[in-house]
Amino acid sequence: MTKILYDANYDKELVAKRNQCHDLCHQYNQLLPTAVKERKKVLQAIIGEMEDDLIIEQPFYCDYGTNIRLGKQVYLNMHTIMLDAAEIHVEDHVFVGPNCAFYTAGHPFSIEDRRAGLEYALPIHVEEDVWIGGNTVVMAGVTIGKGSVIGAGSVVTKDIPPYVLAAGNPCRIIRSIKEEARMKSDCQ
Active site residue 107: yes
From the candidates 26, 79, 107, 125, which is the catalytic residue?
Answer: 107
- The sign of the CA dihedral 169, 104, 128, 51 is positive
Q: What is the CA radius of gyration of the chain?
A: 17
Catalytic residues: 107
